[in-house]
Amino acid sequence: MEKFIDPCCEKCTHTKDTPCKDFVECCVEGPICHENQECADKRKAIIEKVALDEKFVIS
Amino acid sequence: MYEKHIMICGATGCLSSGSNQIAEALTEELESRGIRDKYRLVMGGCPGFCEVGPIIVIFPDEVFYCRLKTKDMAELVEQHLIGGEIVERLLYKGPDVDAPARFYDSIPFYSKQRFNVLRNSGVIDPESIDEYIMRGGYRALKRALDARWIPGPETGT
C-alpha cells in the first residue's frame, strides 16, 4: 500500500467500480470496515512520509 | 519523515521569474552535498505575492524567501538548511516594513489575509490526492452526499 487508493488487504473492497462510501475517512482513520493493526500502520506510514507534524493532518 | 519541507512556488508568476531554475539549482546543491533525502521539495501552489517571486517557503521554520536567484541556492543550503541560520538578505524587504520580514504574519501584504479555500496552497503537493485527503479534502463533498435527499421508491416519494 503505497497510496491510499491501494487496498490495504483483501478485505478492502474499494475499486472504481465498487466505491466505498467511507473511503475518505478510511484513508486517515482506517481501516473502518475491519480491525487490523497492520492495515492501520500502512495508512500511518503514508501519512508519516509527508506529514511535517501532528497538525498537518486535518480529519 | 523529512527534516524540512521546502515549498517552491510553481505557479505562473514565479515560473515566469525562474522558479523552475531555482528548483533545479536547489536540487543540484542538495544532491552534491548528499543531503537531498532529508528535505521534501515541492513545487507548490501560489502564495499570491507574484511580484516578489520566485518564492520559497520553508517549514517548519516558517521562513519566506523571495526574489531568489539560482546563485542564492548554495548560500541558502549552507546557511539555513545546514547551519540553521536564516539568510536575512533573502527575506522580504520593502518600503512597508522596517526590517526584513520573516514570514507571512510580518509581511503587510499577507498580515490581514486569512486563507480559507486556499489554505492548503503552498502547504501540500498540488499533484498529490493523498495529501489533499490528509488535509480534509473531499470531506465536505462526503458530508453533502451523505445528507442528500434522494427522491424515489426508497424514500416513499
ipTM (interface predicted TM):
0.93
- Give the residue from B57, B123, B128, B133 with the most A CB atoms within 10 Å of its CB, the best one to mutate: B133
Domain assignment of residue B83, given as a range: 4-144
Q: What is the CATH number of the domain that holds B94?
A: 3.40.30.10
* Residue-wise pLDDT tens digits, B92-131: 999 999 999 999 999 999 988 888 888 888 889 999 999 9
Query: Cell numbers of A6, please?
Result: 491501494
pTM: 0.86
pLDDT of residue A59: 75
The answer to whether residue B149 sits within a structural domain is no
The answer to whether residue B58 sits within a structural domain is yes
* Residue-wise pLDDT tens digits, B45-96: 999 999 999 999 999 999 999 999 999 999 999 999 999 999 999 999 999 9
H or E element: which one contains B59? strand B56-59
Number of domains in chain B: 1
Residue of A nearest to B145 (CA): A21
Q: Counting Cβ atoms within 10 Å, is residue B66 exposed (0-12), middle (13-18) or buried (19+)?
A: buried
The distance of B1 to chain A (nearest Cα, Å) reads 5
Comparing CB atoms, the residue among A21, A53, A57 nearest residue B134 is: A57
The answer to whether residue B155 sits within a structural domain is no
Residue A38 and residue A27: Cα distance in Å, rounded? 14
Query: Cell numbers of B62, please?
Result: 516558517
Q: A46 and B138: CB-CB below 8 Å?
A: no
pLDDT of residue B149: 67
Q: B130 and A4: CB-CB below 8 Å?
A: yes
Closest to A50 measured CA to CA, from B103, B63, B4:
B4
